Amino acid sequence: MSKWVLKGLETGVKTTVYPEKTETASGVTQGRPERLELLKDKRSVVNICPTGAFKINKNIYEIDLTRCIHCLRCLRSPEFPPAGWTGDYEWAFSVSEKTMKGPFSHCLHIRVVDGGACRACLCEISQTGAPYYNIHRLGFFITPTPRAADVLMVAGPVTDHMRFPLKEAYEAMPEPRAVVAVGTCALSGGIFGRSFASSGGVSEILPVDIAIPGCPPPPLAIIHGLLILTGRRPSLSVIDKPESRRKDK
């Protein structure tokens, strides 16, 4: 067994510098589409979006991240100039007023439920517990039982057959409890939408507190969502204003 101990030591520390600093390693995030100035030739880019994630607001094309399925078409379409794209990952946001500050903020137990996710979202959630991200150091733990959980983390559009198991898991949790929806599917149904077999998002079934968009959201975005919940990082709408962008880099 000693060789495994040595192997572990030899590997050294891999863990990300986030949230103390900004993680700059390449490939930690696929980025996200950004708001656009209303330009004539950008209109076609907007039409290209398969889920209608672009919204027009006065002279700006805004992105509804809860609909973006990261198909990258607005970025890569051969016919049109690419949309704006940013390579960040702090894009989770809070939907309700609920936070878990105070005694809870460094000891949060999370129950993960699969509501029909394609598995990519679940893999990204698992990665948050692996050495590169290691959420344990931040005081977040995955728990097997809803009875001991503070947070219910749901991925997937909540299929028809998962409605009851999901509700049961939620009801088994003690107060105070929060619901975190991970992935575009969990926010709007994503590519599966609302249909005979899927409810079109967790909020159809349970009150959602934190939204983590992305298809799938990279592990850092998931961590960002948990940090918002515990009041340790600001939510997207605040970050998005240029003047409040972080300066450490």
Partner 1 sequence: MVVETEIYKKLHDLSERIRHLLTNSVTVSIEPENLLCSIECNVDALPVVCKQLVSRIGLSFATMIVEESNEEWLIQYVFYSSRIHILVNVMVRQEIDNPSFPSMSSIVHALDWQEREAEDLFGIVFEGHPVLGDFVLHEEWPEGVNPMRRTFRPEMPYPHKETRPEWQPRRILQEPGAFMMPIGPIFSGISESAHFLLETVGEDVVRSIPRFFYKYRGVEKIAEGKHPMEVVLLAERFAGTSAFAHSLAFCHAVESIAGVEVPERAVQIRILFAEFERFRHHISCIEAICNSTGLAVAASQAAILEEEALRLSCEFAGHRYLFGLNIPGGLSKDLSKEDCTGLLKRTDNILKRLDRLYKMLQYSSSFLDRLEEVGIICTEDAIDYGLVGPVARASGVCNDIRKALPYKGYENVEFSVPCETEGDGYARLRVFFQEAFQSVMIMSQTIERLSDEPIYIPIKDYPEGSAIGWVEAPAGAAFHYVRIDSRGRVIRYRLTTPSFTNWHGFHLAAEGFAFQDFPIILATFGLSIAESDR
Tokens read off for 156 = 């997937």
Q: Is residue 238 left, alpha or beta, with left meaning phi > 0 and alpha meaning psi from -120 to 50?
A: alpha
Around Cβ 48, how many Cβ atoms within 10 Å? 17
- Does 66 bind ligand SF4 (CB under 6 A)? Our answer is no
Question: Candidates 1-9, 34-42, 98-106, 227-235 — which segment interacts with partner 1 by CB under 8 A?
Answer: 1-9
- Does 154 bind ligand SF4 (CB under 6 A)? Our answer is no
Per DSSP bridges, beta strands 54-57 and 60-63 are antiparallel
- Does 126 bind partner 1 (CB under 8 A)? Our answer is yes
Q: Could you say which of partner 1, ligand SF4, none residue 95 binds, taking C-beta under 5 to 8 angstroms by partner kind?
A: none
Question: Candidates 103-111, 140-148, 159-167, 178-186 — which segment interacts with ligand SF4 by CB under 6 A?
Answer: 178-186
Rounded distance, CA 165 to CA 34, Å? 36
The binder of partner 1 chosen from 101, 106, 161, 245 (CB under 8 A): 161
Rounded distance, CA 27 to CA 94, Å? 25
Q: Kindly state the smallest distance separating residue 190's Cβ from partner 1, in Å.
A: 7
**Which segments of 90-184 are extended strands (E)?**
93-94, 108-114, 140-142, 151-155, 178-182
Q: Is residue 164 left, alpha or beta, with left meaning phi > 0 and alpha meaning psi from -120 to 50?
A: alpha
Q: Could you say which of partner 1, ligand SF4, none residue 53 binds, taking C-beta under 5 to 8 angstroms by partner kind?
A: ligand SF4
Provide the terminal-to-terminal Cα distance of the chain, rounded to the nearest Å. Answer: 41
Contact map string, positions 48 to 87, toward partner 1, x by CB under 8 A:
--x------------------xxxxx-xx-x---------
Q: Which of residues 199-228 bind partner 1 (CB under 8 A)?
A: 199-200, 215-216, 218
Tokens read off for 62 = 């805004």
At 129 the three-state DSSP class reads helix
Question: Which amino acid, one-letter code, is at 77?
Answer: S
- Does 128 bind ligand SF4 (CB under 6 A)? Our answer is no
Rounded distance, CA 193 to CA 181, Å? 15
What does the binding site for partner 1 look like in residue numbers (CB under 8 A)? 1, 3-5, 7-8, 11, 14, 25-30, 50, 69-73, 75-76, 78, 112-127, 129-132, 142, 144-145, 156-157, 159-162, 164-165, 168-169, 190-200, 215-216, 218
Task: Kindly list the residues in this chain that would bind ligand SF4 in the complex (CB under 6 A).
Answer: 33, 48-49, 51, 53, 63, 68-74, 117-118, 120-121, 155-156, 183-185, 190-191, 215-216
